[in-house]
Amino acid sequence: MEIAGSVALVTGANRGLGREFVEQLRERGAKKVYAAARDTSTITTPGVVPVALDVLDPESVERAARQAGDVTLLVNNAGIATGQNLIRGDLAQVRREMETHFFGTLTVTRAFADVLGGNGGGAIVNVLSVLSWFSWDGATSYSAAKAAQWSLTAGTRVELAGQGTQVLGVHFGSAATDMTSDYDGPKLTPSEVIGAALDGLADGAVEVLVDEWSRTTKAGLAQDPAEFYAAAVRPIQRRTAG
Ligand SMILES: NC(=O)c1ccc[n+]([C@@H]2O[C@H](COP(=O)([O-])OP(=O)(O)OC[C@H]3O[C@@H](n4cnc5c(N)ncnc54)[C@H](OP(=O)(O)O)[C@@H]3O)[C@@H](O)[C@H]2O)c1
């Protein structure tokens, strides 16, 4: 994917990692960046094209796809973390998390698939997590939604290979944004996360593991889950809880 000269659309572009995507895409020479947000008045980055888009509102997504028919790079970044567990958490919030990460990403991807195909293939970046690969007690609902979005990323890659669309999944532990304001563990800067994601995109990668945490966690998937949770997950939860 040639970022210079590309036309990008980033969801959740008004703050956090989405805003950082917009800024770095512009720095790397993207010709046009559509900054998509639920409330376009919250987009303050200069030089972008604001687009109203709520990933849970299919009409707004269709409207955005008609407005942004020149897109060659779609960044599915919008997300929520409601801090729910699956069994005893608020089921409405559990559903909203799955709706946002899985069905929201799917709705946007379906709307833009033909746009990307018509513009030569292009690329899709899905912002995933280390929690696509393990359940965090206190947010197991988020982990389930990110796991579903990971599988969606693979499905999208398989289905759109024929039209030449590069589909990149980006995994990392924790980055300093509003989403992690209650988390006390170490955090990457948004600049580190997005820099690694865009380097991978430019290199033609289909997966970027930004940090050591995501690399060791992915390697841990080959282990017996009981051993993996005992060795790699519980100590981190205990440390950050304390
Ligand atoms: N921060 C981390 O440590 C971390 C780690 C791994 C993965 N991630 C993933 O990174 C992505 C960005 O998260 P962040 O850390 O930048 O969080 P953030 O600062 O809380 O920003 C979330 C963004 O998503 C938008 N959004 C939420 N629901 C939406 C919807 N229905 N339609 C459109 N936009 C919506 C928000 O818009 P509003 O302003 O309108 O609410 C906001 O722009 C998410 O997919 C998250 O799961 C984050």
CATH number at residue 229: 3.40.50.720
Pocket of ligand 1 (CB under 6 A): 11-12, 14-18, 37-39, 42, 54-56, 77-80, 100, 104, 127, 129, 172, 174-175, 177-180
Q: Which atom of ligand 1 is nearest to the CA of 54?
A: 32
The reply to whether the predicted model has a pTM over 0.95 is yes
Is 1 part of a structural domain of the chain? no
Are 176 and 190 a contacting pair, CB within 8 Å?
yes
Q: Tokens 């028919």 belong to which residue?
A: 69
Residue 74 maps to a domain: yes
User: What average pLDDT does the structure give for the chain?
Assistant: 96
**What residue numbers bound the domain in which 112 lies?**
7-241
CA of 137 to the centre of ligand 1 (A): 20
144 vs 136: CA distance, rounded Å: 10
Q: Kindly tell me the sign of the dihedral angle through the C-alpha atoms of 23, 28, 29, 35.
A: negative
Domain assignment present for residue 2? The answer is: no
Average pLDDT over residues 26-48: 98
Count of domains in the chain? 1
Q: Which tens digit of pLDDT belongs to each residue from 138-167?
A: 999 999 999 999 999 999 999 999 999 999
Ligand 1: which atom is nearest the Cα of residue 142? 47
Does position 58 have pLDDT exceeding 80, yes or no?
Answer: yes
For residue 214, being part of any structural domain is answered with yes
Q: How far is the CA of 80 from the centre of ligand 1 (A)?
A: 5
Whether 144 is in a domain gets the answer: yes
Mutate to test the pocket of ligand 1, among 17, 102, 170 (most ligand atoms within 8 A of CB): 17
What single letter denotes the amino acid at residue 211?
A: D
At 123 the three-state DSSP class reads: strand
Residue 97 inside a domain? The answer is yes
Type of residue found at 8: A
